[in-house]
């Protein structure tokens, strides 16, 4: 009999502070300290920055989008070229989503049935079909460290739609788990159920009974209130196992991250820092700065006093405004560096505060402005 | 009497090989080994790369455009913010052009007279006027190490137009020299005269008699043949002083740079490497590569075998094609890095070959494909 191999994944809980958790998520491409913010690399690139920029920023794990990469350049092509890590020259951990959210938000003329979902490409209108088995096969071709189950993200306030969508999501989770063949990829289930606590509880119980390497929480930050989101997280904290990472999909702002770590979340991703950067806005602890505002035209100050990022240590708001007004690529790059730096730094500060037993104190003093 | 100050500029001729020259151009912001290729930073940024990228690539001197910066964000604003070096965080040498070429190629509804040129902004249609004195004042506000005289670039084959434009260019050169007040900026005259050797000779004799810190050669690579361009350079090599740098404006391809160093040119600038990069094309010693070509879709090779740039040491043609097809900023960035690396490396290789007395051998073996 061969010796038992150490599983390539484990989640080590290092410390807690209230419900906030500091952990170490072990993956084949490295250890991810949590809480973690994962920059979004939709098309196999975090927009406007390079892998060496990401490393310098202290990013440990990034996300890529199954829907986009399946359509272009194609998951089979990426597999032929050595997989996603090799293709994009990012040798740290990667998570791919299931494509479900994109199909239900981006693709025109989608039609869902019990077996899967048929949709048209937003690129060329061509028809495609995702089933649980197909989505696992695509993600196995891409080769990320963490893959997730196909799910259906329903409108948050429609109970009947959420009930029906949840039945499909659960059936698809079973089929995804059965379809998975690679031992070097972790599979996360996705808890759904909108704002409805009974559906969320049903979902958490169903998925934890099936058993996954981690649990994603989908269908939040899609229009519901903060109170509704927090109520769902308060419930799930009591239902999800402590020894598995919890990933809140598509969230969020600096304020969200702080509030949700306090509710037991370990992993985050969001396009906010990269997208707002390309719109000419900087995230700071004191609130958002829109560089199109004329008051920055002669401002010699950095985006954020005391920030140690390359942008803040070299360039003025006046220069960044000039780049923004002139639509220069360097403006997108420099704002992206700063915005990612803030999110990654906040996640790291939270981790240290949890480890040092002063998370609540940190949370109160983090001097984050109210969201505008 | 105060002790005589060392002039902040000098051009040290280190070696020659035939007419090719290796020199050291001393400026207040550093020494520029020549031949030198200057990346173009039109709007106070070399498009799609940062100052630290430029330093890593080995760029020593860059160019910025007076016309663009005067219109946006304004030369007075840049002066208030500490000057161009501080504004764009590039602390090496900078050259600003006179704005003449842009006024005569970009601005709508221009009207030239003996005193100057009136034009409308390509940004908002507002009316502006450049005179020699105004252009020097703008460049003194910007604060580059090297500034140049206002000139008029005429259509290369129109003798009568060139004769009249040359008279203005010479009168403006006198006024520019008289208007200059800063001692820490070198002033270059611009030789004009189209393809007409008598006008070029007249221009070189006039400007060298006036006396400048260096000589720019304008009005080439604007539609004439290579033979015509080379004939002008062959003539000017006999007329321009050996102890001043010679700058061929807006040229050119790798092949041009090799051919023109062989004809005594020291300094080059061109948008070719940065502009072709943003169009999805790579410059290589074996010719241009257009990454939109489907044959690169599965190509795991780097852009150029043996190239030591970040792009070639980390990414495949297949990935770069994907970024290009998806119009990702990272594609523009990575192709720009490679293209600038090639131009800067060629200039450096030429310099070393001249210093080692084997320029002709290098030139023959540089294995550059014919221009396509």
Write the CATH number for A38. Answer: 3.20.20.105
Q: Is B277 found in the same domain as B208?
A: no
At residue A2, the pLDDT reads 56
- Establish if B292 touches chain A: CB-CB under 8 angstroms: no
In a domain, A162, yes or no: yes
CA-wise closest residue to A230 among A272, A200, A203, A202: A200
Q: Is B230 found in the same domain as B312?
A: no
Q: Is B302 found in the same domain as B247?
A: no
Token pair for residue A369? 């402005």
Token pair for residue A164? 């029906």
Active-site residue, selected from the candidate residues B75, B97, B145, B213: B97
Low-confidence ranges of chain A (pLDDT < 50): 372
At residue A372, the pLDDT reads 44
From A51, A300, A314, residue closest to B81, measured CB to CB: A300
Distance from CA of B252 to the nearest CA of A (A): 23
Is the link from the previous residue into A73 a cis peptide, with omega within 30 of 0? yes
- Establish if B298 touches chain A: CB-CB under 8 angstroms: yes
Token pair for residue B84? 């161009």
Packed helices B329-355 and A329-355: angle between N→C axes, nearest 10 degrees: 110
Q: Do B297 and A73 touch (CB under 8 A)?
A: yes
In a domain, B367, yes or no: no
In a domain, A232, yes or no: yes
- Establish if A314 touches chain B: CB-CB under 8 angstroms: yes
Phi-psi region of B236 (alpha: psi -120 to 50; beta: other; left: phi over 0): alpha
Token pair for residue A73? 């350049």
Nearest CA in chain A to B90: A314
Distance from CA of A72 to the nearest CA of B (A): 8
Contact between B145 and B28 (Cβ < 8 Å): yes
Q: Do A322 and B73 touch (CB under 8 A)?
A: yes
Q: Alpha-carbon distance B366 to B355, whole Å?
A: 16
In a domain, A316, yes or no: no
- Establish if B44 touches chain A: CB-CB under 8 angstroms: yes
At residue B372, the pLDDT reads 45
Which residue range forms the structural domain that includes residue B307?
271-360
In a domain, B127, yes or no: yes
φ and ψ of B253, to 5 deg: -80, 165
Q: Is B331 found in the same domain as B187?
A: no
Token pair for residue A275? 């997208």
Based on the number of CB atoms within 10 Å of its own CB, is B327 exposed (0-12), middle (13-18) or buried (19 or more)?
A: exposed
Number of domains in chain A: 1
Q: Is B215 found in the same domain as B70?
A: yes
Q: Is B278 found in the same domain as B262?
A: no
In a domain, A170, yes or no: yes
Residue of A309, A329, A337 to mutate, testing the B interface (most B Cβ within 10 Å of its Cβ): A329
At residue B155, the pLDDT reads 87
Predicted complex ipTM = 0.96
Nearest CA in chain A to B50: A330
At residue B107, the pLDDT reads 78
In a domain, A96, yes or no: yes
Low-confidence ranges of chain B (pLDDT < 70): 1-6, 367-372
Residues 73-102 of B with CB under 8 A from A: 73, 77, 80-82, 87-89
Q: Is B33 found in the same domain as B16?
A: yes
**Domain endpoint, select from B270, B296, B311:** B270
Q: Is B171 found in the same domain as B294?
A: no
Based on the number of CB atoms within 10 Å of its own CB, is B120 exposed (0-12), middle (13-18) or buried (19 or more)?
A: middle
Contact between A156 and A222 (Cβ < 8 Å): yes
Nearest CA in chain A to B319: A87
Catalytic residues of A, by residue number, are 97, 269
Q: Which chain A residues contact residue B332 at CB under 8 A? A: 329
Q: Is B296 found in the same domain as B252?
A: no
In a domain, A266, yes or no: yes
Q: Is B119 found in the same domain as B60?
A: yes
Q: Which residues are CB-contacts of B74 (< 8 A; sequence separation ≥ 6)?
A: none
Q: Alpha-carbon distance B325 to A170, whole Å?
A: 36
Distance from CA of A98 to the nearest CA of B (A): 20
Q: Is B308 found in the same domain as B219?
A: no
Neighbours of A224 (CB within 10 A): 18
Q: Is B73 found in the same domain as B154?
A: yes
**Domain endpoint, select from B242, B270, B298:** B270
- Establish if B123 touches chain A: CB-CB under 8 angstroms: no
- CA distances to A62, A272, B320 from A46, rounded to whole Å, are 8, 12, 14
Q: Alpha-carbon distance B282 to B343, whole Å?
A: 11
Neighbours of A164 (CB within 10 A): 15
Q: Do B72 and A44 touch (CB under 8 A)?
A: no
Contact between B289 and B317 (Cβ < 8 Å): yes
């Amino acid at each position: 009999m061969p010796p038992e191999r150490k599983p390539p994944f484990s989640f080590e809980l290092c410390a807690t502070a209230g419900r906030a958790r500091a952990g170490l998520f072990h993956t084949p491409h490295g250890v991810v300290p949590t809480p973690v913010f994962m920059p979004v690399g939709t098309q196999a690139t975090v927009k406007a920055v390079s892998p060496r920029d990401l490393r310098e920023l202290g990013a440990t794990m990034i996300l890529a989008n199954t829907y986009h990469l399946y359509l272009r350049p194609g998951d089979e092509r990426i597999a032929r070229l050595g997989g996603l890590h090799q293709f994009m020259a990012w040798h740290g951990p990667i998570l791919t989503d299931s494509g479900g959210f994109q199909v239900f938000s981006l693709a025109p003329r989608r039609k869902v049935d019990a077996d899967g979902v048929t949709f048209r490409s937003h690129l060329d209108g061509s028809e495609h079909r995702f089933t649980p088995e197909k989505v696992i096969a695509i993600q196995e071709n891409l080769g990320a460290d963490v893959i997730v189950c196909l799910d259906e993200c329903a409108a948050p306030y429609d109970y009947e739609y959420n009930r029906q969508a949840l039945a499909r999501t659960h059936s698809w989770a079973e089929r995804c788990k059965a379809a998975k063949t690679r031992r070097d990829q972790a599979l996360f289930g996705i808890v759904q159920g909108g704002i409805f606590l009974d559906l969320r509880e049903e979902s958490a119980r169903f998925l934890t009974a099936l058993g996954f390497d981690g649990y994603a929480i989908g269908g939040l930050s899609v229009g519901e209130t903060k109170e509704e989101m927090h109520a769902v997280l308060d419930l799930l904290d009591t239902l999800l196992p402590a020894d598995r990472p919890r990933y809140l999909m598509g969230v969020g702002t600096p304020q969200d991250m702080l509030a949700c770590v306090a509710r037991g979340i370990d992993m985050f991703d969001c396009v906010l820092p990269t997208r707002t950067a390309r719109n000419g806005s900087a995230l700071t602890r004191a609130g958002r700065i829109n560089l199109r505002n004329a008051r920055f035209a002669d401002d010699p100050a950095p985006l954020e006093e005391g920030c140690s990022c390359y942008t803040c240590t070299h360039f003025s708001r006046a220069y960044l405004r000039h780049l923004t007004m002139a639509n220069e690529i360097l403006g997108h790059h420099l704002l992206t560096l700063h915005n990612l730096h803030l999110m990654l730094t906040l996640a790291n500060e939270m981790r240290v505060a949890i480890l040092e037993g002063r998370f609540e104190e940190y949370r109160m003093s983090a001097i984050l402005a109210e969201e505008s």
